[in-house]
Structure 1
Amino acid sequence: MSNVTLANLSAEDKAALLKEMEAEQQAEKDKKQQYKAIVDSTVGDVFDKLTQAANQLSDAKTLAYNELKALLETKQEVYDVKNGQKTHTFTTQDGRYRIIIGVKMLTRWDGTESAGVEKVKQYITSLAKDENSANLTELVMNLLNPDKAGNLNPNRVMQLVKLKEKINNPLFADGVDIIMAAYAPVESKPFIEAYERDASGEYKNVELRFAQLAIPQKGVCE
């Protein structure tokens, strides 16, 4: 069987072949354009639904926070007590539901704590090399260990304050004072957390963060 080549085709056949190829190319373009149109429609529709859901969640959280804030004022009036608590917990009498509102204190330092750390280390390295000083050095260095973000731990710094009184050394005391002066915690945005106790007695969190809401285990990317 002989192979058909373009050179063997008649002018009419060439024209027909060209027309067929152009039709196929146009069909591909049409399919892609149709897909893009579907993307526009679907994304726009889903975006509207997500925005509506996010707004509803935001409104619900605002309403809940305001109602619980009023409840807190009533609690303070009934029990005749006011304190500096940053968080407040409300639980139903049967223990089924629990809601927590408030703000969290976020660790912040102004950057000058490094000078205080250096002074503390200077004192530590000046100690005589005996067992007692070795133990003190290990303790202090552990208290000065930063977290993964490079920040000092405020609770550990408070232990340094207690050590300052016991050690009674000007260099060490100055270093600790510099560290303490550099501590500048800030309040987080107001938060609200909701929990429901299950049959086993464990409180399960009701997810109120929109981005963390569950999706089907078999995701769209599989």
Structure 2
Amino acid sequence: MDNNFEQLNDNFLLEFSRKTASMDRFRKVSLISLSIFGIMFIAALQLHNIAFVISIAILLIFSLICFIISLIPKVLEEQQVFVTFLFVLLTYLDSIPFFIVSYLMTVTGNAQTFKIKSIESIIYLVIVISSYVFFWIFFNKKLEHLISSKKDTSPNTTISIAVLGIIGGFIGMNIDGTIMAPILGIIIGLIFSIISPKLGIEMTYMYKARKSDKKYWEVPKEKNKNIN
């Protein structure tokens, strides 16, 4: 990614800052993530797998920290580079539990057990990892071209991984040993491998833009009213 944002499409980046990377959206995403990780932590306790419980606990604590920070106006106003960095991490981390659930569905036919079958495991990892890498490169080049252009474009509204995770996680935890479970597991993993790179790349661009120039920072509503 190019760190020089002076020649980029200001209209695109400013609109992106106001909508997709807004502090209000950070608050909503962190709250949704906190809720989902909380539910998954309770479910993880039933599996009696220490590694899985600890990993979900770490994600739960991180999302809690993000949500608490999102409630402090002074931090949101004065530390937008740091907050955007947290937003980037949250965007990527949001997808991890759902990759785990879809993986377990694929290798066991049941998202609530940790037995692994090597063939299914290899098939899942090859498909999902290769898809993730391909779409990460694809979306990176596409977004780089888009914001480098001089066209009057606006960023597309993106769907939070956490919201999609509610659907995928709910389905995964309720599938029990049917032939459809491995197929559905691969499909869910594939969907997240397509969606998550785009969201992560968008937020990474916004982080670098805000780090480069304060004109990409979000103006608080109160100050915006005074200016007008």
**Same fold flag (TM > 0.5):** no
| TM-score computed with the length of structure 2 as normaliser | 0.29
Query: RCO higher in 1 or 2 (8 Å CA, sep ≥ 6)?
Result: 2
More helix by share: 2
Return the index of the structure with the highest Cα Rg: 1
More strand by share: 1
